[in-house]
Amino acid sequence: MKHICITGYNSFIGKNFYKKYKNTFKIIPYKKNINNLNEIKRFIQNKKITHLVNFAGLSRIKCEENKIDCLNTNFKSIKKIINFLNKFNDKPHFIFISTSHVYNFSVTKLKEKSKTNPKNIYSKLKLRSENYIKRYYKNYTILRLFNIYGPNQSKNYFIQDMREKIKKGSVIKIDKSIRDFIHVSEVSRVIKFIIKKKINGTINVGSGKGYSLMKIVKYLSKKLKKKPILIVNNEKTKLVADISLLKSYGFKRTINEKYINF
């Protein structure tokens, strides 16, 4: 039987995955600080873990506020866990949650082999962790997630942030950029698919479709029946996933997942 340890149990994706699949797998949440290596070592050994899904990590905002904590949590803890997992003869499947922000902006859809060029400490440490995992561990999957949305998401994320600003009548500064959005429920389903199919490697996780940020704001304002106060500049960047690799393994999006609903 699969014994799946999840770190970052209280994270947005972690909560969704646990709630959705707690009756499908034996999911064992690790609820303590990921930086406490001795504690997590004991936990992994005692629970006979077959999979470890790392949802733990500081957000982009928290990383900018405290770069030392970000380094410790988002890279050094991953490095120590990988070093420990390497001591097992039967090595657990390590699933690392990364980000689309390791990539450069691109007018074309981004493949897993597209050029990387992280711009902030959060994405730089995600890429650094990716590279360490690839170099020193064999049984891994790296999931590069594009923009996630869904109920009960933090106000720090784009859609929730825009919704709150429209409600309050705050000024919204926005450009004409295009992004790829995927529902948290679909992300959890991808993780389940990866576990069941025993897929390794680096994989993009997105919708494969580009959405104008401006159009999203207008859509939200229509739903809220309140006109947004916009300051628009003409900058336009694009970050959209090519999900052909994920599809090649047999993953299929459901009908309701193909149509974005904020």
Phi-psi region of 152 (alpha: psi -120 to 50; beta: other; left: phi over 0): left
> Is residue 226 domain-resident?
no
Domain harbouring 65, CATH code: 3.40.50.720
Half-sphere exposure of 176 (CA within 13 A, CB side): 4
Half-sphere exposure of 164 (CA within 13 A, CB side): 10
Residue with tokens 């500081």: 58
> Is residue 120 domain-resident?
yes
pLDDT per residue as tens digits for the range 120-136 = 999 999 999 999 999 99
> Is residue 35 domain-resident?
yes
> Is residue 46 domain-resident?
yes
Question: What is the reported pLDDT for 155?
Answer: 84
Q: What is the largest CA-CA distance in the chain?
A: 60
> Is residue 161 domain-resident?
no
* Cα gap 17→186, rounded to integer Å: 10
> Is residue 89 domain-resident?
yes
> Is residue 221 domain-resident?
no
Question: What is the reported pLDDT for 257?
Answer: 55
> Is residue 90 domain-resident?
yes
Per the structure, the count of domains in the chain is: 1
Which pTM value belongs to this model?
0.94
> How buried is 133 (Cβ within 10 angstroms: 0-12 exposed, 13-18 middle, 19+ buried)?
buried
* Cα gap 151→153, rounded to integer Å: 6
Which one, of 45, 36, 12, 37, lies nearest residue 28 by Cα? 45
Q: Would the pLDDT of 258 be above 70?
A: no
Q: What average pLDDT does range 199-226 have in this prediction?
A: 95
pLDDT band (50, 70, 90) for residue 1: confident
DSSP string, 2-70: -EEEEE-TTSHHHHHHHHHHTTTSEEEE--S-TT-HHHHHHHHHHHT-SEEEE-----HHHHHH-HHHH
Residue 109: give the domain boundaries. Answer: 3-151+181-209+241-258
pLDDT band (50, 70, 90) for residue 81: very high
* Cα gap 196→233, rounded to integer Å: 45
